[in-house]
Amino acid sequence: MSPERSLSLLLATSLILTGCGRKDTTTAGNVRVTYNCAANVVEIKHLQDELPRLADSTGIEIVLQPFTGPDKLYAMMAAGEPPDIFYTNTVMRDRLAAEGRLLDLRNVSTDDPFLGRLWPDVYRQGLSADGGLYSIGNWSFTAGVYFNKDLFDQAGLRYPDTAWTWSDMMAAARRLTVDANGDGEPEHYGIFIPSHFIEVLELMNGAPVEQKSFFVDFSEASREVFRQYVALMNNQLMPDLRRVQAMGMQASQLLQTGRAAMLVEAVPHQVLCEALTIPWGVAPIPRFGSRPVRYFRSASGGLSISAQTANPAAAWKALKWIIAGASIYQPNPVLKDADFVTGWEARYPHLVGSGFREVWQSSLKYPAGDPRFFVRFSSWTSAPILEGLLPMLDRVWARDMTVDELAASLPGINRSVRKELDRLLQRGDLRPEFVQAIKEQLSLAAREPQR
């Protein structure tokens, strides 16, 4: 075969093959909506099973694009091909809204009864500084202490309930920490609290968290929380965080294998409900001392629609289906009309009598709380804050840095926050309402003592 012929054959084959790869075309008549779903293989599988039915009945074909990182999401936006529906937390949402990347959902939802189905606070959480609605909360949760009933029985301890206190919890943890072979390393720990629940403890124990604060603060109440947390590790009531933070070691494994008798985690927690084979119960997280419990319930984020979406009406329909229709997400706690507890108990019968109902009902007593339940920092400054704070937290958890030393380094972080804000204001492309909001908050902060 002559060189020319083989070359052209090669080119033709490759063009054909690459052409085969693209699946841009949909079945005739269907509208394609891309959903940047959570990178959770279980969730994806359940969704995949239902999507064909949805396409048949509504003509809307949802295509799943698992979330692979905020960098990929932004890259897609920059390339002009963002997913139609994606999750935004309060860290990202305001910034994206200010850049004009998010669709104001009021435009597609006028007179839509769906909005009335949401808890009012969930609705309010989706609003931004300019009054626009940029996201709809797609899940909410509170936090509780899961405990291993067998281990409690063996130690002769009473099960925790809504009346127990922090001292009760510490006493139980001490009893449940067992070092049988005396090598200084307990085989069983009393409790494990993942580090991202520190904010929950702070909020519950009086640390003031200003919704609109740009800067990181560390009140005495917060410091006390951190000290108590580190003390758990120092007293070996809790395993060293580094041991558990190894990638792929999930806190739930600790509970499942009996390595920890108690575990603080979100309520509800799908994986814990499905995968735990030990008899377990759940109780509220007590506050320090003997103060009565307080609950927080939060969405911390929600689904947004890209401003560049080709078919806003279809995207809105798809979004509503995801929140209220997809079976894996039902019953959805953001919906007033979903009797969440009954529905969840129907799904996981072993929840009855576990304490789940009591924990959830209690959380309803307070309006769905701080939307930044797990996300303490404002959209604008979370990046420089976390960049400076996380490495230091690593050192605090490793006991290389004391809580007071951490407090002393915070002004340094706030300095870089100020720089970031200056940079933001210099950009010419943020929408004016948001620039105004930033300036207002900055002037408020200027009146406060230097942090």
Partner 1 sequence: MKRSFTGYAFIAPWIVGFLVFTAGPMIASFVISLHSWSMLSPPTWVGLENYQSVITDDPLFLTSLWNTAFYVVFSVPLGVGVALALALLLHNRYPGMGVFRTAIILPSITNIVAVSVLWLWVFNPDVGLLNAFLRWLGIEGPFWLQSETWAKPSLVLMSLWGVGGTTIIFLAALQGIPRELYEAAELDGAGSVKRFLHITVPMISPALFFSVVMGVIGSFQVFAQAFVMTGSAQPGSEGGPNNATLFLVLYLYKKAFQEFRMGYASALAWILFFIILVFTLLQTRLSRERVYYEAGE
Partner 2 sequence: MTGIRTSDRKPTAMIALLRSISIYIILAAVSAAFVLPLAWMVSVSLHDVRGVFEQPFAWFPSQPRWENYPEVMGLVPFGRYFLNTALVTGLVLAGTLLSCSLVAYGFSRVRFRGRNLLFALCLSTMMLPGQVTMIPLYMLFSRIGWVDTLWPLIVPSFFGSPFYIFLLRQFFLTIPREYDEAALLDGAGRFRIYWSIILPLARPALITVALFTFIGTWNDFFTPLIYINSPEHATLTLGLSMLKSQIVGTGMTQWHLLMSAAVMVMLPNILLFVIAQRYLVKGIAMGGLR
What residue ranges bind partner 1 (CB under 8 A)?
Answer: 67-71, 74-75, 77-78, 99, 101, 185, 240, 242-243, 245-249, 383, 387, 390-392, 394-395, 398, 400, 423, 426-429
The helix/strand/coil state of 135 is: coil
Which of 241, 247, 242, 244 has the alpha carbon at shortest distance from 256? Answer: 244
Continuous segment of H or E residues that includes residue 123: helix 120-125
Give the contacts of 398 (CB within 8 A, at least 6 positions apart).
241, 242
Contacts with partner 2, 253-272, as mask; x by CB under 8 A = x--xx-----------xxxx
Which of 117, 88, 37, 303 has the alpha carbon at shortest distance from 50? Answer: 37
User: What minimum distance in Å lies between the beta carbon of 21 and partner 2?
Assistant: 7
Tell me which of 247, 292, 446, 450 binds partner 2, using CB under 8 A.
247
Q: What's the token pair of residue 4? A: 């020319």
Contact between 176 and 170 under an 8 Å Cβ cutoff? The reply is no
Contact between 62 and 33 under an 8 Å Cβ cutoff? The reply is yes
User: What minimum distance in Å lies between the beta carbon of 315 and partner 1?
Assistant: 20
The partner in contact with residue 156, picked from partner 2, partner 1, none with C-beta cut-offs of 5 to 8 angstroms by kind, is none
The partner in contact with residue 351, picked from partner 1, partner 2, none with C-beta cut-offs of 5 to 8 angstroms by kind, is none
Could you tell me the strand order of the sheet in which 60-64 lies? 60-64, 31-36, 85-89, 301-305
Nearer to partner 1, 68 or 361 (CB): 68
User: What minimum distance in Å lies between the beta carbon of 339 and partner 1?
Assistant: 32
252 contacts partner 2 (rule: CB under 8 A): yes
Contact between 96 and 102 under an 8 Å Cβ cutoff? The reply is yes
The partner in contact with residue 387, picked from partner 1, partner 2, none with C-beta cut-offs of 5 to 8 angstroms by kind, is partner 1
Contacts with partner 2, 5-44, as mask; x by CB under 8 A = --x--x---x--xx--xxx--------------xxxxx-x
The partner in contact with residue 400, picked from partner 2, partner 1, none with C-beta cut-offs of 5 to 8 angstroms by kind, is partner 1
Distances from the Cα of 375 to the Cα of 92, 200, 211, angstroms: 11, 10, 11
Which residues of this protein are in contact with partner 2, per CB under 8 A? 3, 7, 10, 14, 17-18, 21-23, 38-42, 44-45, 65-66, 68-69, 72, 75-76, 78-79, 81, 247-250, 252-253, 256-257, 269-272, 275
